[in-house]
Structure 1
Amino acid sequence: MSTLIGRTAQAEWARIWSVRSSWIFAFATAAAVLGIGTMIGLDASSGPPPDGTAWDGALPTGFFALFGILAWATVCSTADHTSGGIIPTLQWTPRRGVLLVARATVIAATTAVVGLLLVTAAGLVIWAIVPAVGAPAGEAAGLIGRLAFVLTSGALLAVGIGLLTRSTAGALVTVLALMLILPFVLAQLSLVYTWLESIAAGMPGSSALYLVFGEGPYEEMTTTSARITLVAWVVGALFLGGLRLIRGDADR
Structure 2
Amino acid sequence: MTVTTEGRPRGAATDAAGAASGGRLPGAVAAEWTKAWTVRSTWWNLLGAAVLMGLACLQLAIFTVNANENDDPADDKGVVGAGTIAIGAVDLVQFVLIGLAMLLITSEYSTGTIRATLQWIPRRGEVLAAKTLVVAVIGGLAGIVLAAAGSLAALPLLGHWGEFEFPAWLGDVLAVGVYMSVIGVFSLGVGALLRSAVGTLIVIFLIVLVVPASLQASGITAMERVADFLPAVAGAAFMRGESDAYPPVLGLLILAAWAAAALAAGHVALNRRDA
Q: Give yes or no for TM over 0.5.
A: yes
Quick one: structure 1 residues 38 and 80, their matched pair in 2 at CA, closer, same or farther if it must change by over 3 Å? Answer: same
The match for 1:64 among 72, 76, 92 is 92
Matched with 1:116 is: 144
Counterpart code for 2:222: W
Matched with 2:32 is: 12
Aligned positions of 1:1-252 closer than 5 A: 3-42=23-62, 51-130=79-158, 132=160, 133-189=162-218, 191=219, 193-214=220-241, 219-250=244-275
CA distance in 2, matches of 1:115, 1:221: 24
Give the number of the structure with larger relative contact order, counting CA–CA contacts within 8 Å between residues 6 or more apart. 1
CA distance in 2, matches of 1:186, 1:130: 33
Structure 1 runs not aligned, ≥5 long? none
Instruction: Give the superposition deviation at 1:50.
Output: 5.6
Counterpart code for 2:179: V
CA distance in 2, matches of 1:241, 1:22: 22
Quick one: structure 1 residues 4 and 226, their matched pair in 2 at CA, closer, same or farther if it must change by over 3 Å? Answer: same
Counterpart code for 1:6: P
RMSD of the TM alignment (CA)? Answer: 2.4
**SS at the partner of 1:7?**
helix
Quick one: structure 1 residues 205 and 137, their matched pair in 2 at CA, closer, same or farther if it must change by over 3 Å? Answer: same
Number of equivalent positions: 246
Question: TM-score, with normalisation over the residues of structure 1?
Answer: 0.87
CA deviations 1:208-239 (Å, max 9, x no partner) are 222223566xx423324322321221111111
Counterpart code for 1:207: A
Identity among equivalent positions (%) equals: 24
Structure 2 runs not aligned, ≥5 long? 1-18, 70-76
Q: Is the 8 A contact 1:74 1:158 kept in 2?
A: yes
CA deviations 1:144-179 (Å, max 9, x no partner) are 232233212101100100000111111111112111
Moved more, 40-49 or 107-116: 40-49
**SS at the partner of 2:147?**
helix
Instruction: Give the superposition deviation at 1:129.
Output: 4.2
CA distance in 1, matches of 2:24, 2:131: 13
Q: Is the 8 A contact 1:65 1:115 kept in 2?
A: no
CA distance in 2, matches of 1:148, 1:135: 19
CA distance in 2, matches of 1:116, 1:181: 26
Question: TM-score, with normalisation over the residues of structure 2?
Answer: 0.80
